[in-house]
Amino acid sequence: MFKLLVAIVIAVVAGCSPAPQSSVETLPTLAVLNPVPTAPPENAERVARAFLEAWKADDLPVMYSLITFNSQEATPLDTFTALYQSSHTEMTLHSLDYDPITMYRERDNIVVFAYDITFNTNLLGQFTDKDRQLRLVMDERAGDWRVAWSPGDIFAEMGSGGRLRLEISAPSRANIYDRNGDILADQNGKAVIVRAIKQEIPSWETCLPLLVPLLGKTAEDIQRIYDESAPNWLMEFGTMEASAYEQSHATLEQACAAQFASRPTRRYQNGTLAPYILGNIGYPDEADIPAVEAAGFTQDSILGKSGIEKSWDDTLRGRPGGRLLIVSQGGGVLREIARNPSKAPESVWLTLDAKLQAGVAKIIADAYAKNAWSKTSKGAAAVVMNVHTGEILAMVSYPTYDGNAFSPFPTIGRAEAARIVAEVQTDPRRPQLNRAVNGLYPLGSVMKTVSATAVSDSGVYALDEKYTCVGRWTRDITRYDWNSGHGTLTLPGALTQSCNPYFYEVGYQMFMHQPGLLPEYMRRLGFGSPTGLRDLDESAGFIPSPEWKRQNMGYDWNFSDEVNISIGQGEVQVTPLQVTRWFAAIANRGDLLRPQLVKQVGILGEAPSYTLQPDVMGNIGVKPEEYDMLREGLCAVTQSRAGTAEYQFRLDPDLQNVGVCGKTGTAQDGSSPDAVSHAWFAAFAPMDNPEIAVAVIVENSGEGSGVAAPLVRDILHLYFFGELPAS
């Protein structure tokens, strides 16, 4: 019967009026007893749909043009626009859609368009507001149907003075731990949020200048918050330090009618321990705001900006939830429109051993404090890695800085933080450079391990190839040794004694066999490309090639290039992390492991959502006897009287019983003719069943045996015996 009545009404209306031009199927219109001598109801439907389509498109001027002239006189365009924009912002809206239900005549000149609307929001997800009504009237000035608009067309309760309020439940950022559960970063710092209701502030002229120094904002920024807020809104001005709250809260309560809320802030338990690994947090950059808002956050959210804080930001921050309410002017809840629970953040356990990290940092800092070479050296780096899993147990870059200073609400106080930031940013030693992964250096004599592998694996040399070192080497060019002569040596002996002429000849013979083969082996063994570390930005380093030289320098590759590379000079640039991974591959007999910094992820007390698994990125694929050759030569470096670092390691008999295999390196710094050389030492231990690999570089400090080797010795002592060696 209902369908029949509708059909009769539509037929009558259609007989009196032109057919509508819209291709959209018209809604069923409930029958009325009194005919309406005005424009047909299909026109009202057209206007209603156009209004809602404009809302979908966020075209507020078009929406405004479709409301009655009386509505426009009651609500100017800027007020209309502000109401919608603030409502969209409050609900974190990114799109909407509507579903028409029906249309009926309420009175002769009033048509009601009934519909559901679905809001898609960043924070609350998707929710539907059902059984909404859009009233349309014949507007004589428009000569057509128009929306009889009021704020109730945003949400019904807003028509009687209600306003939208989003209550956000933002989870506290999760902790970062070391591998043993020691806290590295937590949310136990405190700051205070300052709020006020605009119409309750006794004197804005008195209040504003009080807020500026406390919040660390400009007067213009605070004024903007004030100007964009309705009289009954609870405004959030910003955050101040807990110490400032203690001194000023009474004054702010009186002058600003201020309200306060506690806010947890990031705290790094030992801010200098590993700031170049942990990274820092802060406000999102302008370019990142759309993605941040799409994830349910706001441009005022504190998110990860660098290091672990950035690479694991999604995990550490969780996801905020909230309730969208309509509240009365007195603050009472009129209706809850939508609710979305927050997603709990997960903590991150690093592979770092905090005690080992602190001990390595102390070993290096103490060396700088007591050695004359510190006057020429700007920095150093050390990496300790598990040779079977790729876990980084310690990664130290010297000098360091206090990462707490770079937090938006520093627990050390803004004044102290500002002092540290200024000091760090003007320090010529560049403390923020993570030398372990971004420092680029010539490899020096540590390169001889690569040259020995390449010349034997390629078949150019036999493993027992002999060469007599006499203090210099000549083939059209002359190169000198660091020693007056070592006598006749095989490959292992050349490594042990670090004989330059032996490896000059290696470079020459490699060139004669196949030009460019030696740098190809460097790349095969993991140099010249990132190691695969996921959690920090790392430098690739650089390995020259015949093609590069021809294209960039205009010269052909010749034997002198490979002679230079054979001892780690020339244009070669590597990172300490690459060197550590290479020594781990020697120790584990060929696996190039992905270095990893995160051991586990999850919620404390629950099953982890992520657990580290060793990741073999490739195998260098050389013969077993070549590893034996390398071990023979490298272990004798610390064990044999002929070894270049034996005199350092004999000072630690306990460590000698463990057995260390390593290589010294002294790399010329090509930045200036009189620059002091860089000191390298790389090693793995124990000798018979290796667990860890270590690499240390000390910039512009001298010889590897004299500077870097004792540092590695002390690091290994700390690792195996749990204490710093006696000085």
Residue with tokens 């900006």: 305
Burial of 37 (0-12, 13-18, 19+ CB in 10 A): exposed
Residue with tokens 């321990």: 273
CATH code assigned to 2-158? 3.10.450.100
User: Does the pLDDT at position 118 exceed 60?
Assistant: yes
Confidence (pLDDT) at 398: 98
User: Does the pLDDT at position 8 exceed 70?
Assistant: no
Confidence (pLDDT) at 29: 52
Burial 38-76 (b: 16+ CB within 10 A, else e): bebbbbbbbbbbbbbebbeeeebeebbebbbeebbeebe
Confidence (pLDDT) at 349: 98
More confident residue, 476 or 649: 649
How confident is the model over 660-687, as pLDDT tens digits?
Answer: 999 999 999 988 888 999 999 999 999 9
* Stretch among 48-52, 340-344, 381-385 having the lowest mean pLDDT: 340-344
User: Does the pLDDT at position 147 exceed 80?
Assistant: yes
DSSP string, 152-190: GGTSGGGGGT-EEEEEEEPPPPPPEE-TTS-EEEEEEEE
Tokens (6 digits) for 647: 């005199």
Confidence (pLDDT) at 447: 97
- What are the beta bridge partners of residue 145? 138
Q: Where are the beta strands (DSSP E) in 9-92?
A: none
| CB of 136 closer than 8 Å to CB of 47 | yes
User: Does the pLDDT at position 171 exceed 60?
Assistant: yes
At 193 the three-state DSSP class reads strand
* Stretch among 186-190, 268-272, 715-719 having the lowest mean pLDDT: 186-190
What whole-number distance in Å separates Cα of residue 636 and Cα of residue 649? Answer: 11
Burial of 153 (0-12, 13-18, 19+ CB in 10 A): buried
* Stretch among 260-274, 595-609, 689-703 having the lowest mean pLDDT: 260-274
Tokens (6 digits) for 133: 């009504």
DSSP label of 405 = G
What whole-number distance in Å separates Cα of residue 587 and Cα of residue 683? Answer: 9
Instruction: List the chain domain ranges.
Output: 2-158, 176-350, 359-425+435-721
Provide the percentage of residues in the chain whose pLDDT is more than 70.
Answer: 95
pLDDT band at 38 (very low <50, low <70, confident <90, very high): low
Confidence (pLDDT) at 130: 96
Instruction: Please compute the mean of the pLDDT values over residues 83-91 and round it to a whole number.
Output: 93
User: Does the pLDDT at position 30 exceed 60?
Assistant: no
Nearest residue to 222 (alpha-carbon basis) of 233, 208, 239, 234:
208
How confident is the model over 51-75, as pLDDT tens digits?
Answer: 999 999 999 999 999 999 999 999 9
Burial of 459 (0-12, 13-18, 19+ CB in 10 A): exposed
How does strand 347-350 pair with strand 176-177?
parallel
Topology of the domain comprising 359-425+435-721: Beta-lactamase (3.40.710)
At 506 the three-state DSSP class reads helix
Nearest residue to 177 (alpha-carbon basis) of 538, 597, 595, 607:
597
| CB of 299 closer than 8 Å to CB of 284 | yes
**CATH assignment of 176-350, given 3.10.150.10, 3.20.20.70, 3.40.50.300, 3.90.1310.10?**
3.90.1310.10
Mean pLDDT (the chain, rounded): 91
What torsion do the CA atoms of 348, 352, 356, 357 make, to the nearest 10 degrees?
A: -90
How confident is the model over 514-552, as pLDDT tens digits?
Answer: 999 999 999 999 999 999 999 999 999 999 999 999 999
Burial of 472 (0-12, 13-18, 19+ CB in 10 A): middle
User: Does the pLDDT at position 727 exceed 70?
Assistant: no
How confident is the model over 541-551, as pLDDT tens digits?
Answer: 999 999 999 99
Burial of 332 (0-12, 13-18, 19+ CB in 10 A): exposed
Provide the percentage of residues in the chain whose pLDDT is more than 90.
Answer: 78
